[in-house]
Every structure is written in C-alpha cells, then in structure tokens.
Amino acid sequence: MISVESCFRRVIKHLVTSQQFDTVLANGRVVDPTNNIDGVFDVGIRHGKIAAVSENIAPDRADDIIDVTGQIVMPGHIDTHAHLSSPFGGNVDRAYGHAMLVESGTTTALDLAGDPTAMATGMVQRGAGLNVASLMGLVPHSTISEDDPRPSVLRDVISDVKTRGGFGVKMLGGYHPFTPEASADVVSAANEQLAWVAFHVGTKNSGSDMTGLREVPEITGNGRLHVAHINSYTRGMIDQPHEEVQEAFEMIERMRSQWITEAYLAQANGTNGKCDENGDVIYNVAQNCLKARGYPTTDEGVKQSILDGYGSALIERGGRVIMVTGQEGVDIFEAASTDASLSYPVNPPTSAFTLATAKYDDGTFRVDAISTDGGSLPRNVAIERSMALVAFGALNMDEAVTKLSYTPSRMLGLLNKGHFSEGADADVTIVNAGTGKASMSLVAGELIMLNGRAIGKGGTWMVLEDGKAAAESTGLPYQVVDLENSKLYANWN
C-alpha cells in the first residue's frame, strides 16, 4: 500500500532546492484534505502564496522560519456566519469582533446581517487582518423603506448594497420578519442580481424555530438561499430536539441543490432584549430564550433571567466583548433602556453536534460548514469544538478541516483558499494539538495572530465587481469575488 506521504510526493513535486521562501512553517502536522496531505511537512510561503509543501526545506532557503513542531497546520478557517457590524440596536460595538475572530483562528469571515459601509469603517479603525465579505440586514424603515418591501424596492436596495461593497442581503426573520410572500420576493430579487441572500428564518406567520424553517422551501421556490445557522431551529421549541434535527435533515436533503447551510457549536446564542413601552420583549428570538426556561417575556423576565445567571448582558471591556450576569448585567440592560445585546445558553449540544457531523451516503456532509455566529459575540469556538469532536471520534481530522476550511471556501467561491495547492493564498491556521485551540494564524503569509492574541491590522475587503469603487475609496486592500463560482450559484441558469 502506498502511504499518503509517498502518494503526495509522487503527485506534487516541488523543486524546493531552487526556491527562496519568505516564510517557512517548519515541522508541523500539515492537514490538507484537498491534496491528500496529512503528515509532518514544511510549508513554504512566497509573495503571500503557498509555494511548497515538502519535507525538510533547507533553512538557508527561508528568510524566516517559524517552528510549529507538534502543532496542526491547516488552511485558514473560513467563518460563513459572523457578526462584525450591525444595522440595528444594541449596546455592543461589533467592530471589536475583528480581533475576537482572529484570536479564535479565523482568517476569513462573512459578516452576516451587518452593513458594508459600517464593516469597512470598523476594519479601518479596529481591523485585525481578516478577509471579510459583508451582507446587509434588511430592517424596515432603517435599511429598507417598507415593512413588506415590493420587488421594485428590493431590486434597488440590493443593487445599492452591491455598489457599496456588500455581497447581498440577509432577512432577519427572528427580529424583523416579512410576510412569506415578501420573503420569497427577497430571494427572487437577490437571485436575479446574483447577489448573496441569507435567511434567519421566521415570517409574520411563524417564529424563529421549526415553524419558520418549514416555510422556507416554499419561500425558496426555484431559487437559491443561504439558510443561516440551521441549529438555531432545532432547540426543541416545537418538538423534541432530535425530532427537529431529523426534520431539518429531511428538508436539507430535499433542497440539497438550492440551499447552503452552516451550524455553530456554541451553546450560547446572541439576541437583543429590547422591550416596547409596555415592557414586553419585542423580538421573537429573545422571547424564545425566555420561554425556554419559563420566564415571562417582559423586561422583568429579562432582568430576573440575568440575576439568576441564565441570561447575560454583553459589554465591551479592554477591546473585547464579554458576558456579564447578576446585578451588573441587569444594570447594563437598564442603562441601554432594554436595547441591550444579550446571550442565553439555549442551543442543545446534541443538536449542534449531530448537525455538524451527519453525512449523506456518498460521504459528503449534510450541513456544509461549521461557523461561529460569533465575531463580536464571545462564542468563537468553531475550531476548538471541532477539535473536540475529533478527539471524541465524531470527526476525523480531514473531516474537521474540510468543514472548517475547504467547504466554506467553495460556499463563497473563494477558489484560492481552503487548501494548500501551490499558488493558493497563504491563509493558514495553526492549532495547538493539546488544547485544540488556535495558536497562530497567517493571512497572505503575514502573521495576524500569535499565541492567541491578534497582532494584525486592517484587513482585506471582499467585494463584488460592483463594489470595486467603494473598496478603492477606503484605501483598504480588496479582492473582487465572482459569486458564479460559489456553491450558492453553482450551475445557476
């Protein structure tokens, strides 16, 4: 039997003896399922690209050598659901999420439900070296003019978002729901323009739970859709969690050629506690969190949940966002006049783990990627929880890297990321094999995180062709992405 290393040497022969490298990552366990690599190798980087993966690159061929002995070297984690900006209320500056994501090992992120202009401003002011694409959340009378926007309004808004540097839009059904008909119009309008469209499910006829997910196939119609954080609809609000997971799988399989999906592995969620003038909680997500433990869906219910340590208020300290419970958390909630960012531990681990690991008969994963739904929310645990699943035997290392790096790259159409082929972008995440946590990250061959601390600045803004002028106006480095290469629009007519 030919070993993986021997096969690799036969297929990919790098003339490393004649190359000079800017950086060499030496002696790490390199895991790149795309190229069937899993073994101890050196990774040579030149001009921001992968130049070689080989045994024993000569030290005199490297301008800089980073010894990663005993650590896992994988293509950079691509987070297909993060939060780095926000078009609606809350007491947390989302821009702090840049550093928080970097410190978890992420190298590329899709800012889901933010605002492209705000994201770029945050990248300039508090960027940490990430590659970031952004969607705009559709908030009536804020980012869009109508409660249930007409197709003509949607077309104009989506075109404007693309021009301002966004990939597309996200429906916020758990916070700002439309009718099912208007939701379907959003999908159609985005598909017409080859713009990204994501959905935190829920309409004016349903909730942000399994009732909302049941509507989504009809809302999708013949179109394409990113169904956000599929695990958020399997919390046991309607049926038992395992029953909801099975129903979700059945829908995902039925919509396999039309949906892309991701799940996160944190128990904590993120929400907003805003209440109306009567003291009633406005948003369906927050209502569900309170109902899950029998608290009234009122400002008093929120305060009691925080006092009891079930709920947490979020606040920025020292350039990072933290969770606070007890009276201090209540004080934060009240100081924000209830319009506060909150978190509740409502995601059943068994649901998330099942969704993250389940496969079709052909060996491909039912859910495309492992995300964080984090960024500014301190739950950026995709890498460490995936490594825990490897330790447990629920995933092997190739599978974990596939879900953290390769399939997310295909989802977004980032063909030069997610693998270590020669000429690929030198985006790298290095993981401590003992703790399962990322210890170091590089983007385009430059260190952005070291020993768990962000050291990068700025970042690279990923835009569509329509957004080039907006990106150029900021002075930020940018990359133009063609969504025809994405899984969302694969084989789209």
> What domains, with CATH codes, occur in the chain?
74-79+97-267+348-358+407-414+452-493 (3.20.20)
Q: Would you say residue 91 has pLDDT above 80?
A: no
Structure pTM?
Answer: 0.94
Q: What pLDDT, in 10s, does the model give residues 36-78?
A: 999 999 999 999 999 999 998 999 999 999 999 999 999 999 9
Match 């809350």 to its residue by tokens: 90
Region 153-158 average pLDDT:
98
Structure token digits, residue 121: 């401003």
Closest by CA to 299, choosing from 319, 320, 315, 313, is: 313
CB 269 within 8 A of CB 333: no
Please name the residue ranges forming H helices in 282-381. Answer: 284-292, 299-307, 326-335, 349-357
CA distance 212 to 229: 13
Region 466-484 average pLDDT:
97
Structure token digits, residue 218: 């009809």
Region 455-466 average pLDDT:
98
Helix axes 326-335, 299-307, angle to 10 degrees: 150
Q: What pLDDT, in 10s, does the model give residues 229-279?
A: 999 999 999 999 999 999 999 999 999 999 999 999 999 999 999 999 999
CB 478 within 8 A of CB 469: no
pLDDT at 319: 87
pLDDT at 248: 97
CA distance 43 to 27: 9
CA distance 220 to 431: 38
CB 78 within 8 A of CB 462: no
Question: For the chain, what is the mean pLDDT?
Answer: 94
CA atoms within 13 A on the CB side of 185: 18
Cβ-based neighbour number of residue 281 at 10 Å = 26
Region 417-423 average pLDDT:
98
pLDDT at 11: 43
How many Å is the maximal CA-CA distance in the chain?
74
pLDDT at 13: 44
